[in-house]
Chain A
Amino acid sequence: MNGLWRREARLFLRAPGVAALLLVLLALCGLGAWNGAQRLEADRSRVAAAQSEDQAAFARKRAMLVELEAGRMQEGQFGSARKAHQAVLSAGRALAPPDAELGVLSAAEARPAPDLLKVSFLTRHRDQQPTLDDPSNRLDGPFDLSFVATWLAPLFLLFLTYDVLARDREQGSAALLASQGVSLARIVVARLGVRYLAVFAIVGGVALAAALFTEKGRPSAPALLAWLGGLALMLGVWCALSAAINARARNSAAAALALLSIWIASALLAPAVISVVVSAVAPPPDRLSGVLAMREIESDLNRRRAEVTAAYYAAKPQNRPVRQGDEYEHYFVTEMTPRTLAFDARFAPVAARMDAARVRQAEALRWASPASPSLALKLLTEDLAGGAPERRVRFLADVDAWQARWRAHFEPKLASMRPLTLADYDDKPDFMPRPEAAGARWGRIAGLLAALSIPFLLALAWAWRALRSAGPL
């Protein structure tokens, strides 16, 4: 068997144009990986800069408080480190989800969105929803390794495999080949195997190198294995289809036409149909109704501002102001704070419905993905690169939880207009995003691998059946 594969490898690599084609694929993979790495590094730098700026700003205020306490500084009208409304309302945290394992695979806007949220006491981070609620948007995106692996690698593989036997039949060399005493099925398998390994090694090798480079030599082995497994299954589908078509096709043009038709149906038409069906079955969150709900709540709270403030202090009498603030302070403390908290409480169910709709749609897409290996690999890549809606929902829940803790920490001081102490600065809550539960995360990945396995096994069964009866004539 090894000898046969070695001979076929020699025949393949010496064929005209093959080396150039493989170099082009390598270059495209390299370009895709470069774009992914650039985007990843830019994101990381942006997050690091924003976080360090936040921490520095808060540290400056704390230092100012030390000076005030020591009497080395006079309290100014603005920027007081002692007055909660001045120290807290504009201060917050730049929050980002934990790094995805294979962010380098994707440079898409959807990847870690929302990847950086500036969250403070009053921030409505739920306003900043990304606009990628249409499933068809998941299929396009910038030129990255995900694009190359999903769309270009199968085309390269088909270009290299469409005529592995059909051309021999067309040229009349199939009979000479078959007369040598090795079954045509074995020859076809060896030829496809060599081509498959070449494409897999290039795409997988570049992905591995990119992950090693961007993760400082320590990429997540399970994530890498899962992605390489997905890539192997998707390329395997096309190899098996090529085997089945070559077992029957009388000439290379017919084989090319058949395979191209299957590719168009599977990689272009099926995702489009799936997108339409999924949008109908699990519609994306209705952003318009979200905005309208937001405006309605705002307008209602504005109309009833006195009532809202009264209700707040009635519910939290311990937070009643202990002194008379200026007009500015009074507005933020006694109006903005109760209204913001009331708004978030009323908007929470709307936000939860929007999150649930995103998750439902993502689940529906995954269920439909066996119909399109390209879509399944795209979803797998997106998930491993950090773009899964479930991850975004989880991150927003973490942000909500952090904001609740931040508010709980500063709200009594803010609403009561009591001065801040060093302890308020030092004990402020830190943001600790929780990684997704391994079961849910790997359940999704396993589901997508299973989704890729279904077309692979079907194509393999077809290829097996076709090759058993494949003859040279």
Chain B
Amino acid sequence: MPSLGADMETGTLIEWRVAPGDSVRRGDIVALVDTDKAEIEVEIFCDGVIEALLVEPGRKVPVGTLLARLREPAAEPAQPAVPLANVAVAAPVAESLAPPPRSAPPRPPPPSTPPQPLDPTRPGVRASPLARRLAADLGIDLATLTGTGDGGAIIREDVERAAGGRTPAPGATPTPLIASPISSPPTGGSDRSAGMRRAIAAAMSRSKREIPHYYLATRVDLTAALHWLGAENARRPVTERMLPAALLLRAVALALREAPELNGHWIDGEFRPSEAIHIGVAIALRQGGLIAPALHDVDRKPLPQLMDELRDLVARARAGSLRSSELSDATITLTNLGELGVETVFGVIYPPQVAIVGFGRVREEPWAAQGMLGVRPVVGLTLAADHRASDGHRGARFLAAIDRQLQSPETL
């Protein structure tokens, strides 16, 4: 079960889109999973042939549970299987908070202990909290261990034995985790909004607990941008007209190229910048709650395509059919509460991201420039950023870059 968000702890397999024996290619949709937030399509990250499906539709399993086994193209059927979706079995919670490592190859199981597919009737690995913590500290996959504790539970000794005497660095402290333990209250489809509330609560609490936010705000004159957009839209069929949101997305994406400290993730005590710029777009759902799926490679897509993808993304988010990569890939988030009349929005960073950009409403305001007072359309622009990864100076330059981009809309 892939982690489809920092706050996801379990998922219910709705249906398989593949059967044993099917060939699949990287990017194919192989299953549909229900999380607390939405029904999400699970895509696969490598080519191969489905060898076995290990979880039946309708079952709710913890993140990290092995869903299926995949045979790589060249491999013979008898060779060791690769876990689907690059997700380690029963990843410790701390790991599950991180986005799946898309580019890293799947970690091969230690040759001496081939992984045992979990008994599908077992909800997860039995391991003591201490064993889980030690395994996470030592980078040991619990699924590779045999427990000797009560009822076969994996206990400290088992982890230490597997580590060959390796012990965690002195003074190592447990990573503060999301408040709710793994066995969070069950959530059925009927109380998804409650589940989503809990998920948001967990992620936002963690954010405020762990991330030292700093906040910057400025106001941006949108005269040039809106003038250009109006002229552009006048030449386009009504169905293809573009919204200011697409312009703002592009401006943020291009400005981010100059501010790599704001684009990426804070994982295991260090900032990991991202080459790609995937902007999470905060979308309020009609039934309540919030989701922030990613628009991929915003800096590399022309405006019309971006507009199309944005429309599609919002529609699918509200229909509950997002893709897994869209839920886990964002490298920064953009939120816009302008429609609701909000002047300025100071966001809460969605971990493990390190920044969130906020736009308020566009409003006509008296605006002084070059000694003259005029009336201009103005928008409030804010940044909340992780002070561990960047400083206010860098944040300020980033906001200035967004402003600069918006003053030259023709280059967007």
Same complex for A and B? Answer no
Interface residues of B (CB under 8 A from A): none
**A interface residue numbers (CB < 8 A to B):** none
